[in-house]
Amino acid sequence: MVGFIFKKTPILKAALSALEKRFGKIDFQSKPLYFTYTDYYGKEMGRNLLRVFVSFKKLILASELASIKIFTNRIEAKFLSEKNRLINIDPGYLELSKLVLATTKDFSHRIYLKDGIFAEVTLYYAHKTFRPRDWTYPDYRTQEYLSIFNKIREIYGLQIKDI
């Protein structure tokens, strides 16, 4: 599962193309959502940002997460304007019980993986839906986002039945 924050659709399409070359076919893509939950990216990326989530048909191993984050950081680096990112790419993975995100930022609730990459359990699944942790980002707490993650979980559940 990968989340994107961006302003221009052609940049998103180029990033998606790079990810599809590595991970194969996309099996879910959310509609673009307005990203209004923080000004954190505003200085670097501007205003009127959008968010899209995708998942891929090909499943990954949890042990691949750090390498995937390094790969997505390289994609971000290809789309710079005056040293500012034009897209933010947040990879993670979703299991039936949780959603895990990769980050380069350490904090007390994050576990070091390797090469400067950390992981956090952002959401956990209980009582038929994903639920936030104390540290969950505000946007990941919204019903709109939780519905997306529940849909991806449904797709994942069907995929692992075939394994």
pTM: 0.95
CA dihedral 71, 11, 20, 151 (to 10 degrees): 100
Q: Which of 61, 64, 91 is nearest to 75 (CA)?
A: 91
**What is the pLDDT at residue 24?**
98
**What is the pLDDT at residue 136?**
96
**What is the pLDDT at residue 39?**
81
- Mean pLDDT, each 10-residue run in order, the chain (163 residues): 96 98 98 89 88 97 98 96 92 98 97 98 98 96 98 97 81
**What is the pLDDT at residue 81?**
86
**What is the pLDDT at residue 22?**
97
Written as six digits, the tokens of 129 are 């839906």
Q: How far apart are CA 137 and CA 102, in angstroms?
A: 13
Backbone angles phi, psi at 109, to 5 degrees: -95, 5
**What is the pLDDT at residue 8?**
93
